[in-house]
Amino acid sequence: ALGVGIVGLPNVGKSTLFNAITKAGAVAANYPFATIDKNVGIVSLPDERLGILATLYLKGNRTPSPVPTYVEFVDIAGLVKGAHKGEGLGNQFLANIREVAAIAHVVRCFESEEIVHVEGRVDPVGDAITINLELALADLQSLEKRMDRLRKNARANKDDAALLPLIERLLEHLSAGKPARTFTEGEPEVRAKFFKETGLLTAKPMIYVANVPDSDLPDGANNAHVIGLKKLAAEEGMDVVPISAQIEAELSELDPEEALVFLNDLGLSEPGLNRLVRVAYRMLGLQTFLTAGEKEVRAWTIRQGDKAPTAAGVIHTDLERTFVRALVIDWQKLVEAGSIAAAREHGWLRTEGKDYVMQEGDVVEFLCSG
């Protein structure tokens, strides 16, 4: 799964944000699944290339529909102190986090008399540390179990034996309260494989979502809480995205024209979800390729480094197996040419085989057998 799990202490604005996501996503008609889990919401990735390319495919007075790609967000409720000991919805909660590829960690940076804070004060850095500690404690448990098994196998298995010293240092790292994602020892591939097999939660990229008052949007530069969070995040090489869950909720109730007026009134150029989804996309190591025709111009998601047959398989699973070759052009080159036919005449339309590594912004037509 490539989704982003939304976590955070109670009363920080998670449900408000998640409801905004599901309402906003409901209009994104391109979602491939007819039914969608009630704890999953999608956010479209803004992509201005689609509108530009669409103008090349005018037929009569009909422009193709721009269809953006998206990121899935999963509502993961139930984190409380002691989750690693199974308190609250502890075990279920941790199992749900294991399923997602990244974590959006919502922290409260807004003051309010009416809305109680679980700890009785607004302290997002403290809250972030509380949650990170729960995740680190859960990882320590997983790691210790894994360690026991490795020790038993080490006599018979050289690979397992070789891992032991590395794991011991990782144990020390986690015990010092540091997340696995900042552990840099050993070979990157060995480390990544081990993190995955062990299901380490603190190895996943984390985005700190600072729920700020609307007066502190878009960058939260004047909010002392956000400044503190940025420091914490920077130590882990992670990002902070300031957002107002309440504003996002209000935006999700409006039609597009009304939403623009509302954003203008607030002095904002776009919804916070746009900023959030862009950061999530980058953190997940994803990239976009495009398909274009008279019906639609569409963005599709693959991982950075994916090859052409994998990309074909995203459009339809059969296409990966039956892939023969791909016709490829960079989107800007296509705009420069003005049409596929003109691009072909210029010799700009390339034929690529199964080993071609896809590039961001490739416009592709796949040729398949059968």
| Residue 226 near ligand GDP by CB under 6 A | no
Q: Is 12 annotated as a binding residue?
A: yes
Which one of 14-22, 41-49, 179-187, 354-362 is the stretch in contact with ligand GDP (CB under 6 A)?
14-22
Which one of 95-103, 109-117, 269-277, 321-329 is the stretch in contact with ligand GDP (CB under 6 A)?
109-117
| Residue 8 near ligand GDP by CB under 6 A | yes
Among 30, 63, 91, 246, binds ligand GDP (CB under 6 A): 246
| CA–CA dist 84, 177 (Å, integer) | 14
Q: Which is nearer to ligand GDP, 212 or 337 (CB)?
A: 212
| CA–CA dist 28, 73 (Å, integer) | 14
| Residue 215 near ligand GDP by CB under 6 A | no
Which one of 161-169, 182-190, 244-252, 257-265 is the stretch in contact with ligand GDP (CB under 6 A)?
244-252
| Residue 11 near ligand GDP by CB under 6 A | yes
Q: Is 13 annotated as a binding residue?
A: yes
| Residue 116 near ligand GDP by CB under 6 A | no
| Residue 88 near ligand GDP by CB under 6 A | no
Q: Phi-psi category of 211—alpha, beta or left, where left has phi over 0 and alpha has psi -120 to 50?
A: beta
| Residue 14 near ligand GDP by CB under 6 A | yes
Among 198, 202, 211, 223, binds ligand GDP (CB under 6 A): 211
Interacting positions 120-179 with ligand GDP (CB under 6 A): none
CB of 134 to ligand GDP, least distance (A): 15
Q: Is 11 annotated as a binding residue?
A: yes
Which one of 11-19, 119-127, 198-206, 327-335 is the stretch in contact with ligand GDP (CB under 6 A)?
11-19
Beta-bridge partner residues of 329: 363
Q: Are 4 and 204 in contact (CB under 8 A)?
A: no
Q: Which is nearer to ligand GDP, 69 or 132 (CB)?
A: 132
| Residue 13 near ligand GDP by CB under 6 A | yes
CB of 88 to ligand GDP, least distance (A): 12
Q: Is 16 annotated as a binding residue?
A: yes
| Residue 217 near ligand GDP by CB under 6 A | no
Sites of contact with ligand GDP (CB under 6 A): 8, 10-16, 110, 112, 115, 211, 244-246
Residue positions in the annotated binding site for ATP? 11-16
